Structure 1
Amino acid sequence: MDIFLIRLLQFMLAIGLLVLLHEGGHFFFAKLFGIRVEKFYLFFDPSIWKWDGSLFKIKPKNSDTQYGVGWLPLGGYCKIAGMIDESFDTEQMKQPMQPWEFRSKPAWQRLLVMIGGVLVNFLLALFIYSMILFYWGDTYIPTKNMTLGMKFNTEAKQYGFKDGDILVGTENGEFKDFSADMYRALSEATRADIIRDGKAMSIKLPGDINLLGMLKAEPSFVRPLIPAVIDSVMENTPAAKMGLQKGDKIVGINGKPVDSYNEFTDQLGVLEDMMTAAKTQADSLKVRTATIVYARNEVQDTATITLTPDLKLGFMVQTIAGIYQPVTKEYGFFESFPAGIAYGINVLKGYVGDMKYVFTADGAKSIGGFGAIGSLFPPMWDWYLFWKMTAFLSIILAFMNILPIPALDGGHVLFLIYEMITRRKPSETFMIRAEYFGFGLLILLMVFANLNDILRWLGYM
């Protein structure tokens, strides 16, 4: 429950900040051009019976704008006078046009009002990335420094990789670290540069490996190789009952040799599959009963032990950061801005490039709603990870909002560009119907994404 609350608080804080600033972008340009903003709300405020749906509201003296917080935390809105938006205020559009309305302004001013939110979100992401680099620097472990090499799955081995190979780069450049960018580069590469047994060599790749398949495969396409050497043993666990100690090495389980901690967890995954097929308590107990072979001071020993109900032995190994010395690149205040901009643009390019997988069967299953987004936040409060995640969400919010879908900013931008080119406005009837269509489409996508979350939680995906 504590982990859930911590993630929920981080999610709400990040989304609240991003929505406020996004709507603030619209608000800024509207006020700049003398357009009246009637309501500025964080979250939506659909009325319920006699209640107007506002948790808080205030209208300053001599102001045309009511500020408030709604009860439905699905975003926010800035109700601009004389504009067809998600408020569906069609009565206002029947009245004579006023000089302070959105519809009375030149197309270029209306265009800036509409892109204001996206612009703020994108600039905010670049600013956050810059400040992260300024305050914390850029800490990472270069893949070429992972001297124990990597562990590859069956698909990767079919291309010519071998366990223990050290990934260095592709024909497009050297890998920085072990990250999604590395996977992306491998999926598009025709050549992978590696170090095998101390010698530099290259492996031919097809140039079109399915990135989503690489990431979702169990085991995954490639992982850093972690030795199956025990770093600590938890109390009152099967490992403690066996007498395992720091420095012991797991070398086998149930007659299967283990060459790394990666292989050990793979074998536990096999047991998990067997557990799902177990029909009786006796079947489950049989799956949980494991024979472990371990070595201490080069002397091997064997023990039969019952694993925990979630198939754990109860020991920890060193993390990647414990095995290798991280590299930290520091940035001065002014140096951080070009570096942050480059980082943010790279994140955007990667996200946009990966969108093509959304239109595949596996990609559609990967779409997540609020639960999936919330789970991306760390289970403990960490300001570095919080700001990094907030910047990433800001980029996603900017990109998704600029898509040419009616009801989104991008839909309005599309119609404004059409008007600027043809010198003709789309009819109000068309705009209202487009808004209804776009809003309905967004609701369906939201339901689909959150249904995926529920199905994953229930174990059906």
Structure 2
Amino acid sequence: MEILIKASQFILSLSLLIVLHELGHFIPAKLFKTKVEKFYLFFDYKFSLFKKKIGETVYGIGWIPLGGYVKIAGMIDESMDTEQMKEEPKPWEFRSKPAWQRLIIMLGGVIVNFVLGILIYIALMWGYGEKYLPNENVKDGIWAQDELAQTLGLETGDKIISVDGKVIEKFNEIPVEFINGNNFVIERNGEQIAKEIPVDFISKLVDRDKDAGNFIQYRYPFVVGKVPETSINLASGLQSKDIVMSVAGKEVKYFDEVASILETLKNKSTELVVKRGDETKGINVKVNEEGKLMVQPAFLNLLDLEKLGYYTLADKKYTFMESIPAGLNKSWTTLTNYVKQLKKIFNPSTGAYKGLGGFISIGSIFPSEWSAYSFWSITAFLSIMLGFMNLLPIPALDGGHVVFTLWEMITGKKPSDKFLEYAQVVGFVLLLALLIFANGNDVVKLFK
């Protein structure tokens, strides 16, 4: 069921983005009286799942879910209809239109993607606002229990100040800033220390266990979730929701402090003081040979921790007018972060190429339960990502056509149809290779 919910959201989001992207080409083509022969969601090699001709255009759904397309008469595109190009140009064909009109038609799709992403972010800011943990409110620093955090030179209690000179405002921004960054500054025992992010940091991040969680975590208390039947402390009196306040007479606030003390008490008995509701109780417990109590800790989210007084969250609400700059800022941040990550992917020394994912990776970012906020937030991200990817100057993408059209407008020389045919083939080969590599990475991750 979980996979079905994720897949349904992925298909719905992808279909929406494809249809609107192609509509961005379709509308200006029609405005400039250019014939549009086909409008398709997904590709229809050999046959279609559905098709219907309305006017001069065939609308349909293909069976290969790798995108979609509009077939514009007189244009070398995904259809590779070279026979049509051998005939004399007709007034209604793409190739007969002025260069500025062709440029607008080709840019229409990416413009729609960027505008859609911005509008969704504005709507989310207006409707939901933002609730997050301000980095400055992490008073006692991070928990650096993860091996990857330790390879960065981080220690529990460190406060992350900035990455590449950018002061961190939101705690949840830290992982992506480390992915995109080159150096960072921490505060340790009142002293600020500058450190470098290893070049192969992303490679190590990709190679981690997928269930390991964030490599940088906020600290949280030791709260008892369940005492299993097999636990050595089954009869100790520990109960679900007990919060450990001290171990062996030493006051503790966080889980990591409890774990450190228990490491020194292997195969011994000790006393815990726990908070249970409004009361505190002393409980005698046993520690096993691994320094564990053999109880299952409870998972606490930030809202739980705020109620317990551990953190204070920021809760920003926006009026409609305030949501516009907030949405624009979110869109710009999303775009610049994506561009930074793309640069690292093309730098082999970072190992970031190993994290490049295909349909499985994209589908997996959707939640396993329906959430309107999550769905639209991910759709906005994918829309901006799709817009940028299509702007890359690769033949077969919109960006490739834009480059050729700009060249014509600047030099006055139009590339030959034969050149455009060859360029389209080269572009398809590059995109196919990228598609195979990205989805191959997904398969490898599944087996790992």
TM-score where L is the length of structure 2: 0.82
- Cα distance change on mapping 1:157 and 1:305 into 2, 3 Å: closer
Q: Aligned residue for 1:403?
A: 392
Contact 1:249 1:296 in 2 (8 A): yes
- Specify the code of the residue in structure 1 equivalent to 2:185: A
Contact 1:251 1:293 in 2 (8 A): no
Deviation at 1:101, TM superposition (A): 0.5
1:136 aligns with 2:128: yes
Which one of 143, 152, 156 corresponds to residue 151 of structure 1?
143
Residues 143-152 or 373-382, more deviating: 143-152
Q: Aligned residue for 1:71?
A: 63
In the TM superposition, 1:96-175 aligns within 5 A as 96-152=88-144, 161-169=154-162, 172-175=165-168
Residues in 1 aligned to 2:36 and 2:270: alpha-carbon distance in whole angstroms: 70
- What CA deviation, in whole Å up to 9, does each residue of 1:73-117 have, x standing for no partner? 111110000000010111111111111100001111111111110
- Cα distance change on mapping 1:160 and 1:12 into 2, 3 Å: closer
Residues in 1 aligned to 2:127 and 2:269: alpha-carbon distance in whole angstroms: 46
1:302 aligns with 2:286: yes
- Cα distance change on mapping 1:242 and 1:439 into 2, 3 Å: farther
Q: Aligned residue for 1:433?
A: 422
Residues in 1 aligned to 2:179 and 2:246: alpha-carbon distance in whole angstroms: 31
Q: Aligned residue for 1:330?
A: 317
Contact 1:21 1:117 in 2 (8 A): yes
Secondary structure at the counterpart of residue 205 of structure 1: strand
Residues in 2 aligned to 1:260 and 1:216: alpha-carbon distance in whole angstroms: 28
- What CA deviation, in whole Å up to 9, does each residue of 1:266-307 have, x standing for no partner? 9xxxxxxxxxxxxxxxxxxxxxxx98988631656335599x
Residues in 2 aligned to 1:89 and 1:69: alpha-carbon distance in whole angstroms: 19
Q: Aligned residue for 1:247?
A: 242
Deviation at 1:175, TM superposition (A): 1.7
- Cα distance change on mapping 1:93 and 1:391 into 2, 3 Å: same
Secondary structure at the counterpart of residue 164 of structure 1: coil
Deviation at 1:190, TM superposition (A): 5.8
Contact 2:141 2:156 in 1 (8 A): yes
Residues in 2 aligned to 1:384 and 1:393: alpha-carbon distance in whole angstroms: 14
Which one of 36, 49, 54 corresponds to residue 55 of structure 1?
49
List runs of 5+ in structure 1 lacking aligned partners: 48-52, 253-257, 267-289, 307-311
- Cα distance change on mapping 1:103 and 1:193 into 2, 3 Å: same
Contact 1:175 1:182 in 2 (8 A): no
Residues in 2 aligned to 1:333 and 1:217: alpha-carbon distance in whole angstroms: 43
TM-score where L is the length of structure 1: 0.80
Secondary structure at the counterpart of residue 192 of structure 1: strand
Deviation at 1:339, TM superposition (A): 1.2
1:444 aligns with 2:433: yes
Contact 1:144 1:167 in 2 (8 A): no
1:192 aligns with 2:177: no
**Overall identity of the aligned pairs, in %:** 41
- Cα distance change on mapping 1:292 and 1:178 into 2, 3 Å: farther
Contact 2:161 2:167 in 1 (8 A): yes
Contact 2:163 2:181 in 1 (8 A): no
Secondary structure at the counterpart of residue 6 of structure 2: helix
Deviation at 1:168, TM superposition (A): 3.9
Contact 1:168 1:195 in 2 (8 A): no
Q: Aligned residue for 1:226?
A: 220
- Cα distance change on mapping 1:74 and 1:299 into 2, 3 Å: same
Deviation at 1:68, TM superposition (A): 1.1
Secondary structure at the counterpart of residue 70 of structure 2: strand
Contact 1:134 1:332 in 2 (8 A): yes
Q: Aligned residue for 2:170?
A: 177
- Cα distance change on mapping 1:295 and 1:400 into 2, 3 Å: farther
Deviation at 1:174, TM superposition (A): 3.3
Q: Aligned residue for 1:26?
A: 25
1:317 aligns with 2:299: yes
Deviation at 1:43, TM superposition (A): 0.9
Residues in 1 aligned to 2:116 and 2:418: alpha-carbon distance in whole angstroms: 36
Deviation at 1:332, TM superposition (A): 0.9
Contact 1:365 1:452 in 2 (8 A): yes
- Cα distance change on mapping 1:454 and 1:157 into 2, 3 Å: closer
Aligned length: 414
- What CA deviation, in whole Å up to 9, does each residue of 1:312-363 have, x standing for no partner? 9644232233212321111111221111011101110111011122122621
Residues in 1 aligned to 2:151 and 2:81: alpha-carbon distance in whole angstroms: 60
Deviation at 1:437, TM superposition (A): 1.3
- Cα distance change on mapping 1:166 and 1:92 into 2, 3 Å: same
- What CA deviation, in whole Å up to 9, does each residue of 1:157-212 have, x standing for no partner? 6776531123344684532212345652697476625374xx5x421234776662
- Specify the code of the residue in structure 2 equivalent to 1:317: F
Secondary structure at the counterpart of residue 364 of structure 1: helix
Residues in 2 aligned to 1:251 and 1:217: alpha-carbon distance in whole angstroms: 37
Q: Please provide the CA RMSD for this pair.
A: 3.4
Residues in 2 aligned to 1:179 and 1:84: alpha-carbon distance in whole angstroms: 45
Secondary structure at the counterpart of residue 49 of structure 2: strand
Contact 1:84 1:432 in 2 (8 A): yes
Deviation at 1:154, TM superposition (A): 6.4
